Amino acid sequence: MNRLIIASNRLPVSIQWQNNSFLVFPSAGGLATGLKSYHKNNNSLWIGWPGINASNQNEEKTITGLLLKEACLPVFLSQDLVEKFYDGFSNATLWPLLHYFTEYTEFKGAYWEAYQTVNQLFADAIIANAKEGDTIWVHDYQLLLVPQMIREQRPDLRIGFFLHIPFPSFEVFRILPWRLEIVNGILGADLIGFHTFDYARHFISSVKRLLGYEVDFNKISVGNRHVYIDVFPMGIDYKKFEQRAIEIQNKPMHERSKEHQDIDRFLLGAPNRKLILSIDRLDYTKGIPERLHAFRNFLNKYPEYKEQVSLIMLTVPSRVDVEQYQNLRSEVEKLVGSINGEFGTINWNPVIYFYRSLPFENLIELYSSADIALLTPLRDGMNLVAKEYIASKVNHRGVLILSEMAGAAKELGEALIVNPNNVDEVSEAIYKALTLSNQEQVKAITAMQERITRYNVYKWAADFIQMLEKTESRQAAYQARKVSAKHKNQFKHQFAEAKSKILFLDYDGTLQRFYNNPKDAIPDNDLVSLLNELSLIKNTELVLISGRDKNTLNEWFGKKDYTLIAEHGAWIKTGNQGWKARNTSHSKWKENIRPVLEFYVDRTPGSLIEEKTNSLVWHYRKVDIELGALRALELKNDVTNLISNQDLELLEGSKVLEVKVAGINKGNAALEYLQDKKPEFLMAIGDDWTDEFLFKELPDETITIKVGTDKSVAKYYVSDYQEVRELLKTFY
């Protein structure tokens, strides 16, 4: 059977050395706990770091044996690699940067080298275990290079990638010195998943700005394949939390955890006291000090709630050896002490503070008992704690206060959504939560439960895998049009056998690469030689059909013995004959259109205007990619209104907008050229929308080839101008 191979930094279980033996324990963390249920119930192999360093081969063998029983396979890392890859590049470079904490970001070459090394180790482990037909699912920011590393060696595999933390805006991401390598690494996947549309949008923006790839909604054209971007908000194992919460409700207090018994003692003499629950890993992204400031503000603004409410703050230890985290812990503990000292009484502590991790059942106890969950991270990819709290409220009573910066806020709209940096807003949300009626609580909790019940972790994983499988069929249909070696041999044979042949070839983007300044696209020696050879082939007519103005084409090819069609068909020149206008037209319309284009040139740095006999062209190839797209849309709307009652039309090309006389296009120019000609071999190659007229108008038997991966009526496609040249060279 085909398998699913999951790869992540940490496995769903970890190995620990206790009592002179290796033991298996569940791993902490959202990904490990969230996907573990799906992994157990499916035919999958999970590859990751076991959480411990093996000192010899015997230990490695023992650890591997234990993990194989859990359908897991270890990637062993040395202590030095762990420090530089995990503590270094992953958590001192990527983690703060992707969460917008640029002031904490460290850029060290040694970290980057270790990151590359570990990603290659993971890729090698996956490749060594992947069989034909297997699906690979790579997870999170520690393994951003792995998809492309796999792609390079095993292009036959389906590869998915999911990022579980935020992807920042381009202005933040561009700070990273290795941004190109990271983006290219991710683009090795067939399907890339994010928790929210914002993260997906930021990633697509970075791809466009850094690499200039064409993007069609959620599809990125990368070389000769398509990469799909989609949004999959991660769910939880809902039934697991719900069922355990039901069991705990009837559990006697003396059988509950020490933490819960401690909390119960705080409630003695105040059975109606409300409990606010705060659970987070101790990390600067979680907004814990800000939360405490908001709680203090609440107690000051609403003194009537003194001795009526307590904040249970559970912070899970994290990176205890790192100075930033040590300082954060110290700050949190000082704030807790300060608040308790200022407001506390003999019978009441405003903040009940725990610095420890808790087993699953103890967490459920806290979820079940808390009247309010206060979860206000400054940045968070998803925040599954919010969903776990909702799932545990089997009595449908409780209130969730959630940061708008958490991915879960996009789904849990019935929660009280707050800006975690706004102390007053969070304070008011606490007050509102305490005064919310039972009916309102039930309504909100029920709506959120219905939603996260439907889209649980199984549905999330199944949807991702199903979408990944769909990309395979999409790629197959797409690849069927790719000009392959077989197609090249077929075209070569047809060309050789034909007694008469005609080649229609566009110039920019087809025979020559694009330049920021169109005047720089002068034909190089290789291209000149290619065209000369083609024109010398017996019974072959070579036609350069371009949007270029006739003066430029005449300067470059005027003395050549082949046909030139300029300005999308407005002018034609055959051999040594002079230029002939196909359609004469007055140019007074330019007086109305030129000021509009000049207005956009003034507002759009890098753009320019080109004037042709029958058209005006606005070029924006040198413009910032997103500004260019915005201005092009604005200009398109303005010009469309201006030319609605005139004999003019607007053409969209590759980073150009052209206003031209209607009825002049490459299609009708080619048909006019073909009048009374019946070639046995006919081929047309072009790269943009102006060439679609050519592809549509030519006879059905024409071999039409699109350069690039955009939608086209052409029968075939090639990736770039270099492939065009290679194809044409096979004809001589």
Active-site residues, by number, are: 506
Q: Retrieve residue 701's tokens.
A: 């038997």
3-state secondary structure 232-292: CCCCCCHHHHHHHHHHHHCCCHHHCCHHHHHHHHHCCCCCCCEEEEEEEECCHHHCHHHHH
Largest CA distance in the chain: 106
Distance CA(444)–CA(415), nearest Å, equals 7
Q: Which amino acid appears at position 593 of this protein?
A: I
Nearest to 545 by CA among 665, 398, 426: 665
- Distance CA(49)–CA(85), nearest Å, equals 12
Q: Which residue has the tokens 């990736």?
A: 719
Q: What is the rounded CA–CA span in Å between residue 655 and residue 710?
A: 14
Edge-to-edge strand ranges of the sheet holding 44-49:
72-74, 44-49, 4-10, 135-139, 158-162, 191-194, 225-231, 219-222, 215-216
Give the C-alpha separation, 423 to 292, whole Å.
9
Angle at 601 between CA 596 and CA 604, to 5 degrees: 125
Please tell me the number of Cα atoms within 13 Å of 339 on its side-chain side: 28
User: Which is nearest to 628 in space by CA: 637, 640, 619, 615?
Assistant: 619
Nearest to 280 by CA among 226, 196, 358: 358
Q: Helix (H, G, I), strand (E, B), or coil: what is residue 621?
A: coil
Alpha helices in 403-456 (DSSP H): 423-435, 438-454
Query: How far apart are the C-alpha atoms of 527 and 584, rounded to whole Å?
Result: 32
What span, in angstroms and rounded, lies between the C-alpha atoms of 127 and 437?
Answer: 56
